[in-house]
Structure 1
Amino acid sequence: MATDQFLAYDYPVLGAFWTVMWIFLWVLWVVLLFRVIADVFRDHDLSGWAKAAWLLFVLVVPFLGVLVYVIARGRDMGKRELRHARQQQEAFDAHIRETVGSGTPGGGVDDLARLSELKSRGELTDQEFQQAKEKLLH
């Protein structure tokens, strides 16, 4: 047989190591590129023209653009990301408070007390009271 066969053990361990290293660095590069692009759009201090210039620089000359961006503006990237995360958490908390109700502890108890008072005054029938109570509790 004159055909060459390539087997798995023909690939040296050091070659596999370098392949894994290059894949890791490539993934790290892509993540860094997207973080820089997200940071450009997240920064409210930059004008529209400055954002366009940074984006163009990062897309046209990616390695140099990202390197220059991280050197020039990298110090505040973490601060901007932390501020963005806090704003998202506050918005989520506000949404939860709005969805749940008044946001005050015992708000459901107050509503049940009002329903009970309406029932005792005769403004609600037993069936209406039960329906409203189930709606509050579920």
Structure 2
Amino acid sequence: MGGNTVNLAYDYPVLGVFLTALWVFLWVLWIFLLFRIVVDIFRDDRMSGAAKTGWLLFVLFLPFVGVLVYVAVRGTGMGIREHRSAEAQQRAFDDYIRRTAGTGAGGGSHVDELARLGEMRSKGDLSEEEFQRAKERILH
């Protein structure tokens, strides 16, 4: 047997695997937090351009301290701004859906007529056959 050595799986202790996994997890968590903070810096409408530049430089050039200080100083506002942004996106999406549904072929009157027919069918004023015939007339 020569000087070749074979490293087996049990040469790397379980604690070492755990600590390595922990460090990888913490790095990924920190990078995720860094991206969230950078997005939050640009999302804040009340902060001036100079303040945004200062926070961005602080977070990028002193990353660990900058991230911790930003979360300590402005962490509460991050959640509020995130919530406001999500609500604005939902409103924009809802408005888009309303405009799109209202400006289809024939306009919003088709949508209104179909809704009215559906209500009449659910009340029992129209049979299923009458409903289908009326729906075909509206759609074609």
Q: TM-score range by the shorter chain?
A: 0.7 to 0.9
Partner of 1:14: 15
State how 1:56-67 maps to structure 2 within 5 Å.
56-67=57-68
Compute the displacement of 1:107 (Å).
3.5
Judging changes above 3 Å, is the alpha-carbon distance between structure 1 residues 110 and 20 closer, same or farther for their aligned structure 2 residues? closer
Task: Determine the C-alpha separation between the residues in 2 that align with 1:88 and 1:110.
Answer: 26
Task: Determine the C-alpha separation between the residues in 2 that align with 1:80 and 1:48.
Answer: 17
> Tell me, which stretches of 5 or more residues in structure 2 are unaligned?
115-134
Count of matched residue pairs: 115
Runs of 4+ in structure 1 off by over 6 angstroms are none
TM-score, length basis structure 1: 0.75
State how 1:23-102 maps to structure 2 within 5 Å.
23-101=24-102
Partner of 1:108: 110
Identity of aligned residues (%): 61
**Greater RCO (Cα-Cα under 8 Å, separation 6 or more):** 1
Give the superposed CA RMSD: 2.5
Partner of 1:127: none
Task: Determine the C-alpha separation between the residues in 2 that align with 1:110 and 1:51.
Answer: 48
Deviations 1:101-134 (A, max 9, x none): 16xxx8415578xxxxxxxxxxxxxxxxxxxx98
Deviations 1:32-76 (A, max 9, x none): 000110000000110011001100110111001111111111111
Compute the displacement of 1:7 (Å).
1.6
> Tell me, which stretches of 5 or more residues in structure 1 are unaligned?
113-132
TM-score, length basis structure 2: 0.74
Residue identity opposite 2:16 in structure 1: G
Task: Determine the C-alpha separation between the residues in 1 that align with 2:112 and 2:26.
Answer: 58
Task: Determine the C-alpha separation between the residues in 2 that align with 1:8 and 1:110.
Answer: 69
Residue identity opposite 2:53 in structure 1: A
Judging changes above 3 Å, is the alpha-carbon distance between structure 1 residues 75 and 109 closer, same or farther for their aligned structure 2 residues? closer
Judging changes above 3 Å, is the alpha-carbon distance between structure 1 residues 110 and 82 closer, same or farther for their aligned structure 2 residues? closer
